[in-house]
Amino acid sequence: MNQVRLSKVMELMKKQDLEQILISDPAGIFYLTGKWIHPGERLLCLLIKAGGDHKIFINELFPVTDDLGAEKIWYNDTQDGVNFVAEHTDSSKALGVDKVWPAKFLLRLMELNGASSYINGSEILDRVRMNKDEDEKQKMRIASELNDKAMGKIQKELVEGITEVKMSQLLAGIYEELGADGFSFNPIIGFGANAADPHHDIDKTVVKEGDSVIFDIGCVKDSYCSDMTRTAFYKSVSDKGREVFEIVKEANLRAIAAVKPGVRFCDIDAAARDYITEKGYGKYFTHRTGHSIGIECHDYGDVSSINTMPVEEGMIFSIEPGIYLSGEVGVRIEDLVIVTKDGCEVLNKYPKDLLIIK
Amino acid sequence: MNQVRLSKVMELMKKQDLEQILISDPAGIFYLTGKWIHPGERLLCLLIKAGGDHKIFINELFPVTDDLGAEKIWYNDTQDGVNFVAEHTDSSKALGVDKVWPAKFLLRLMELNGASSYINGSEILDRVRMNKDEDEKQKMRIASELNDKAMGKIQKELVEGITEVKMSQLLAGIYEELGADGFSFNPIIGFGANAADPHHDIDKTVVKEGDSVIFDIGCVKDSYCSDMTRTAFYKSVSDKGREVFEIVKEANLRAIAAVKPGVRFCDIDAAARDYITEKGYGKYFTHRTGHSIGIECHDYGDVSSINTMPVEEGMIFSIEPGIYLSGEVGVRIEDLVIVTKDGCEVLNKYPKDLLIIK
């Protein structure tokens, strides 16, 4: 187990007077143990105890020989794995459980009286994961460097007759050539009216002249995620498209300029949102300004109007304001930033000036 | 809402003396309402009440205009959605919750005293979903027909120098050409030693002469899944490979021959497993014989040694025995079957004789 990370977790457990927590999220288990285990619908959890003597419960179908820093408790498909968990939790104490732990396991553990009470204990690990160490920052830089390169290549593929689905397939090949480990999320490549729908699933729409084209793409490299958005226009741009583009770009720059330790996430959100509102498009910026990112593309901690947490050095998150005029034009511009001592480092170097792809 | 399906669910609720259940799984919500909503980490759930007056809790980010047969209760990212759920559940009664409902929601609902007790209520809907209606059977046939065609095309792509990853990319294109809606699961295309690892993730391994090549592939069409496995050999086959292949094929045929209403899932598993054991390879058949399939590739109900449920007309599941000799050779042969009045209909028509791809 990574002892620095583990000791931070145990420190927060102590602060919260919590002597036992269960971590079930594979990303959380990877963060602490360095090992990915993907159990599908089967039980997998790591029990961290204030007194040490940690346990990890694993199905025999996923044989792991590495030392995980926790005793492995094996079970198989003919056994009730939660029974083993209940044998190792302290039934007289509260238990922090992972926010994503499926009800089928939690209800069974309750039935077996695994603990005196149950609380959502995820904030402890989530909080520790927000502040990236040097190794993580370096991996995030590398993943974004690959993403910058991929953006250059995929924009060149926008040609007459191409569909969103085809672009996404080409992007998979581009990441592979660049040595990335795959998508960090299903890319959103949206043409025209689809670009104006921030939750569009890619389809077989063909690009046409005048379309705004959103490229919201990211890859995984060495278990860390990149995520960047650029918006281009195909062959020509309308006056409205140009106007909206420049507003979003300025909002992106203002939010980035607002980032430094001590500033609250909601203040960064406001830096983008207030400007867009001032320009008359507030109601067309329909989502939060950003999200934390690391091992998961959406890590804990939003850049949103209701998150009053101050940002700290080492946090990494996206800045991605957008304006969506339904059926007409959509623009989003997104970069990742690392909070530094007195500002931030922008991980994406890809140009963000208005681009018309001929 | 699909009234036939809903009434079956409500009948089972009555049998279990359960007056309210929460369904959160998007596949379950689709099954009842005909609408896919993918909320990601956000709250989405359908509250079914014995007295009618069903509710569905949706984030405003996912605007749905269709009539879902349940009153829509909207919330946004600045609100605690579970609060709305608690306002509509009966706090004096037990509540069935979805097996996959994340602990963050369940613990919050408990805090708000949403019900007098909480049980895993998923079996109700899962049980109803096991017996496919005519519309579902037809969709399953079509998805498997596409899969048969895809198998023919992808096997032709096995050529000198090709990698597993490249095969998977080609398969994506094949499904697209055939009009499928994408993969039903990440294909397992394994060469040689990788074929001998039933949980292998595809990588950049290059095919070489004598390899057994597992093609475990499936697509989605109209929200229903196909899933089939064939094993071929590249250029030549060893005596051991041939022996193991013929045993697996016979095990597949024996299990299929065992399928009819009233026979238990464990009996079908035994039909394949006993034969493989008799031939001396029992310990190399390391997984269950099959799984139910429908809207999800892994629906509720395993063909395993511990499932004593009798099968019924209209159930659809896979029959996929395998033998894995670590580092050497792996063979799996899988078909989907629909249980009929007196036997079963095999959905996959693709040949399963030993094939050497030159």
Return left, alpha or beta for A338; rule: phi > 0 is left, psi -120 to 50 is alpha, else beta: beta
**Partners of A219 in beta bridges:** A183
Pull the structure tokens for residue B133: 């209606």
**Partners of A337 in beta bridges:** A317, A346
Pull the structure tokens for residue A94: 């509260």
Whether B190 shows a pLDDT value over 90: the answer reads yes
Q: pLDDT tens digit string along B102-146?
A: 999 999 999 999 999 999 999 999 999 999 999 999 999 999 999
Residue B104 to residue A108, Cβ atoms within 8 A: no
Q: pLDDT tens digit string along B295-325?
A: 999 999 999 999 999 999 999 999 999 999 9
Q: Which member of A102, A120, A165 has the closest CB to residue B100?
A: A102
Q: What's the complex ipTM?
A: 0.89
A189-211 b/e with 16+ CB inside 10 Å = b? bbbbbbbbebebebeebebeeeb
The chain-wide mean pLDDT, for chain B, equals 96
Taking the CA of residue A326 and the nearest CA in chain B, the distance in Å comes to 13
pLDDT of B217: 98
Contacts with A, B 111-170, CB within 8 Å? 118-120, 122, 165, 169
Contacts with B, A 276-315, CB within 8 Å? 286-288, 298, 304-306
Identify the burial level of A355 via C-beta atoms within 10 angstroms of its C-beta, where 0-12 means exposed, 13-18 middle and 19 or more buried: middle
pLDDT of A165: 92
Cβ atoms of B69 and B83 within 8 Å: the answer is no
Residue B78 to residue A119, Cβ atoms within 8 A: no
- List the domain boundaries for chain B: 3-129, 131-357
pLDDT of A40: 87
Mention the CATH class of domain B3-129: alpha beta
Cβ atoms of B181 and B222 within 8 Å: the answer is yes
CA distances from B270 to B180, B253, B259, B332 (A): 34, 13, 11, 16
Beta-carbon-side half-sphere exposure of residue A304 (alpha carbons within 13 Å): 14
A288 neighbourhood in chain B, CB within 8 Å:
77
B3-129 against B131-357: fold identical: no
- CA dihedral sign of residues B79, B81, B82, B87: positive
Taking the CA of residue A236 and the nearest CA in chain B, the distance in Å comes to 30
Pairing of strands A228-234, A212-217: antiparallel
DSSP annotation of A315 reads B
Cβ atoms of A276 and A263 within 8 Å: the answer is no
Q: Given 3.90.230.10, 2.30.29.30, 3.40.50.1100, 3.30.479.30, which CATH number is that of B131-357? A: 3.90.230.10
Q: Which member of B78, B102, B120 has the closest CB to residue A306?
A: B78
Q: pLDDT tens digit string along A297-314?
A: 999 999 999 999 999 999
Choose from B23, B99, B110, B220 for mutation: most chain A CBs within 10 A.
Answer: B99
Give pLDDT < 50 ranges for chain A.
none
pTM of the model: 0.90
Choose from B120, B176, B286, B291 for mutation: most chain A CBs within 10 A.
Answer: B120
Least confident of A153-167, B56-70, B331-345: B56-70
- CA dist., res. A338 & res. A342, Å (int): 11
B336 backbone dihedrals φ, ψ, rounded to 5°: -100, 145
- CA dist., res. B18 & res. A203, Å (int): 42
